A and B are shown apart, each in its own frame.
Chain A
Amino acid sequence: MEGLLFYILAAFILVFSLAVIVVANPIFSALFLVLSMISLAFMFFLLQAYFIATVQLIVYAGAVMVLFLMVLMLFDLKKEIDIFSSGQRLGGLKIASAGLLTGLLLWSIHYSIGLFQLQPEKVLDAQGQMEQTKTLSVILFTKYLFAFEALGFLLLLIAIGVVALSRIKGGTHARD
């Protein structure tokens, strides 16, 4: 039963993720990304990682992607699409950066196996789900505190950087 569900969900995730990059219309692309996020959340549910699953839903599907969709709908995207898809010369660079990203992801997956093993063989009841959440928050605020705070700071930097970039000459929010 669970095996079957796994394959169905995996197929959903693959199809939706592929659709994200294949579909031409950015709105549909974003909607497919939402669907693949939701499928991923259900995959976490299947793995009994209930807290991660709900956080995945609430943060990515519920908040981040709504924002994405809103921004996509606000702007006239024709120019951006032209700039982005005219990459005959830059094609090699794009493929190279995609390869780099894939390598990075594979590396991090390879080295993080076994990092978050929270009583894997136990079937979790309501109490267990609470315990799992507790364990997760404790290690997040003790062992991985520095990484956690550093990531938060990085996100802040990115936000400021984006604001700065969008206001320079030729940007979307340029001051004349």
Chain B
Amino acid sequence: MGSDILEISINAIKLIVIFLLMVQLVPFLVWVERRGSAFIQNRFGPNRVGPLGLLQLLADAIKFLWKEEFVPQKGRAFLFYAAPVVALLPGALAFAAIPLSVPVYLEKFELFGQTWGPYRIAIQGYELGIGIVFVLDASSLGAYSLLMAGWGSSNKYSLLGALRASAQVISYELSLGLSLVGVLLLYQSFDFSDIISAQVGPLSFFFAGHDVKVPFLPNWGIFYQPLGALLFFAATFAETNRLPFDLPEAESELVAGYHTEYGGLKMLMFYIGEYGHMLVASALMVTFFFGGYHIPFISIEGVRTFFLDHGFSLNGSNLLTSLVFHLVFLLKVLFFLWVFIWVRWTLPRFRYDQLMDLGWKVMLPWALCNTIVTALVLLVAKEARF
């Protein structure tokens, strides 16, 4: 929580800001998705309202607010209303557990005529020692909102979408979890901060009695776990119900799947949930395999001394350093969000049996194989340091 009233309020505000960050990314991503798909398909996309069509989002938001409010006649009203709210939870819970930047150290300073003690503020909703398992937990709860929506709508298309969704989420959760075991073995920690701080500097490791150093590559997880990264990224597509795994909504077969009966703001909440999932998936990808918030070949101290040399105070330069690393983190995350959108408009949807074959017969064995190979290599390279 915090030692005094200021620290407690900073921590409380931090949680709200991180949630709002997730929510506020949605309109922007919807715009990127539309413009990006138009770009890929050689169309214009929304370009009439405001500069570059940016105000289209505002118009959409107003439209969503004024839609008619209804529950299907034979629907279960409680489940029908609860499902969109539950859809927001997994993304929000998981995203708050991921460190977004360098922790800020604040020395003693004067504010409101009082001296406030030295603080260490982590740019993260809450710090958990078992962060990775917690994030997997939170995202595994995502299937319930789809199931509740499917059952609450009392519509056959919705129900079929919900059933497909739960089968898919269970199948791919296995490969998702297993593809991360390699990372856990490598860094020997469940803590995001440990994993991120292990990826600083140029690529260097200790293997079978030799110190190997590759000065032109950063020390990122992708170079140790390429297969793990690929499997993880593919499984997150299934977890977020994005194309090519969007069987739960499959508009050509199921109208709109689990959210057939939804409209207006409730529909929007499902969208926020989906984009929140994408955001978490990209952030995890960056954290595990692409060095988290670190900039390759530039140390935190380097950035801090740069600001100190340019006449900022100690607290000011600490804050600015954190801001710089946060922007770098966001940049990396945005790249992976763009990959999500790019893939959506490039690959066709799987057939259902192909989806299950890929999950159980291809990805699961490869993830197991990756785990065993990683464990064996770590055993061979006794006292391996990464």
Contact = CB atoms under 8 A, between A and B. Distances in A.
Contacts of B129: 50, 124-130
A12 interface: no
Dominant secondary structure at the B interface:
helix
A50 B151 contact: no
Interface in B123-141: 127-130, 133-134, 136-137, 140-141
Nearest to A128: B129
A171 to B, nearest CB: 21
Interface string A127-170: 11110010000000000000000000000000000000000000
A43 interface: no
B170 interface: yes
Main SS class of interface, A: helix
Contacts of A38: 141
Interface residues of A, number: 27
A93 interface: no
A61 B190 contact: no
Contact of A69 (B137, B141, B147, B177): B147
A70 B130 contact: no
B39 to A, nearest CB: 37
Interface residues of B, number: 31
Contact of A129 (B130, B137, B143): B130
Interface in B108-133: 127-130, 133
Interface string A3-21: 0000000000000000000
Nearest to B90: A62
Contact of A63 (B79, B128, B140): B140
Interface stretch (A51-59, A84-92, A96-104, A105-113): A51-59
B130 A133 contact: yes
B191 A126 contact: yes
Interface of A: 27, 31, 34, 38, 50-51, 54-55, 57-58, 61-63, 66-67, 69-70, 73-74, 124-130, 133
Given A55-B133, A61-B140, A127-B129, 15 more contacts: A31-B144, A50-B129, A54-B134, A57-B141, A58-B137, A61-B137, A62-B137, A66-B143, A69-B166, A70-B166, A73-B159, A73-B162, A74-B163, A126-B128, A130-B129
